[in-house]
Amino acid sequence: MTGYLITASFTLFFILIIYRWKVFDLPEIPRWFYGILLVLKLIAGITLSRLLLKYFHGGDSLSYFNDANTLYHLAFTHPGDFITIMTGRASHELTLEHGMKMWNSYELLDFDAQTIIRINALIRFVSFGVYYVHIVFFCFFSLTGLQLFYRLMRRHIWHNRKLFFAVLFLFPSLIFWTSGILKEGVLIAGTGMLLFGLKGAVILHPHKPRLLGYAITGLLIMAFVKPYVLILLLPGIIAWLWSALTTNRNVLRKFLTVYFMYSLLIFNLHYFSPALHATEILYYKQHNSIVFVDYKQSKSIIHPPLIKPDTWSILRQSPASVIQTLIHPSITKAHNQLSWISAFENIFLILCCLMPVLFFRRPAKKSLALLFLSLFFVVSLYAVIGMTTTTAGSLVRYKTPALPFLFFILCLLFDRLRMVQRFSDKKQQNPGSGLCL
């Protein structure tokens, strides 16, 4: 009972921040609604934690919390070791000696778990050891990130701003996977801070260093949580800023130029540092993922398009990888309640992707740079995920950072009024027949 009261107290504390922080001050959205969203995310985070406990013995989130709890106690029992571990100077043996099993987990193309554990260790100083309090913090992080996304893009999709707000804050995957003690919520916060800060500090208000602080903080968060997402986003950011600072002339040409030069750099980094061989990293990431799922005998295995450690193989398989990410998780891989929900959600998302095709709205010139930033990022992230992910559950999580960008594309290009007009015209042409007596 005490744990629930402490959790409720922290929830009220963050609702108070929402009422005081200008980030949540928008004329079209009342602040109390963000309080409801925070509570909704908390419910989703608690539900996620219980599902992970039921199906995966707690999953990564519980492992992060347990290691953070261990690290917190070291601050009092072994303060020297605490400082060594927090500053990243600890050896593998030292963390194992203290029973921190998750600390040394590492994946190619991903960062280790140390950043999330450090964040939880700091939260532990005020959480009284209540697991749900940590969920409240992560819910607030992701809510802030999504709000910064909305503030960044709302003027461009003003015709569909309510629709964009609804899918951005209420789409099941975004609520679910960004509300637990996982990397996705922090990553969404970092991405939102980076883009919002850059727009403010570089494009709108170059004289306001506070906005640059948002960008630097977001950049550091992304670099330490999931650097491969930052690597895929960087060329789009460069082309976006270049376009915005040159009155949006030849936007597509600028994006193609930046991506071409950036790709040449990425695929030739191994000539400067052998450890940065992009094609080999992708190849071994795929190989390790296939070996892992074969060993675990997962029920939701997805077979990625096989690649070789060379540039042309990766380029050839990229379209198939994008399609792979788009169509999964599918109902053919569903085997429990969670996977069935994810499969039907993905079917709904695919149908939503068809709406701009059927009811297209030409974007304004000022929106083209953000449109191409979003489009290039979604395609590149989907390609990497499709090549390296071998289970449906992981794929749902890894797609989460792309969803705000995908929703922006759909809402920008979707002409809701044209759809309403078409259906109203059909209704007038085919009025319901009355009953003849």
pLDDT digits (tens, 9 = 90+) for 160-203: 999 999 999 999 999 999 999 999 999 999 999 999 999 988 88
**Residue 149, Cβ neighbours under 10 Å: how many?**
24
Measured CA to CA, the distance from residue 95 to residue 91 in angstroms comes to 7
**In contact, 293 and 333? CB cutoff 8 Å:** no
With a CB cutoff of 8 Å and minimum separation 6, the contacts of 336 are 55
Instruction: List the one residue out of 129, 130, 137, 113 whose CA is nearest residue 70.
Output: 129
- 299-to-15, 294, 339 alpha-carbon distances in Å: 41, 10, 10
Query: CA 91 from chain center: how many Å?
Result: 31
pLDDT digits (tens, 9 = 90+) for 114-166: 899 999 999 999 999 999 999 999 999 999 999 999 999 999 999 999 999 99
Backbone torsions φ then ψ of 112, nearest 5 degrees: -75, 180
Measured CA to CA, the distance from residue 117 to residue 108 in angstroms comes to 19
pLDDT digits (tens, 9 = 90+) for 335-378: 777 788 888 999 999 999 999 999 999 999 999 999 999 999 99
DSSP state of 361: -
**234: exposed, middle or buried (Cβ count in 10 Å: 0-12, 13-18, 19+):** middle
Angle among Cα 59, 60, 66 to the nearest 5 degrees reads 100
**In contact, 342 and 202? CB cutoff 8 Å:** no
Taking 3-state DSSP, the helix, strand and coil percentages for the chain, each rounded to the nearest 5, stand at 75, 0, 20
Backbone torsions φ then ψ of 157, nearest 5 degrees: -120, 40
> Hey, which bits of 70-190 come out as E strands?
none
pTM attached to this predicted model: 0.92
Name beta bridge partners: 340: none
The secondary element (H helix, E strand) that includes residue 316 is helix 311-327
Three-state SS for 435?
coil
**In contact, 339 and 393? CB cutoff 8 Å:** yes
> Hey, which bits of 156-296 come out as E strands?
none
- Summary mean pLDDT of the chain: 89
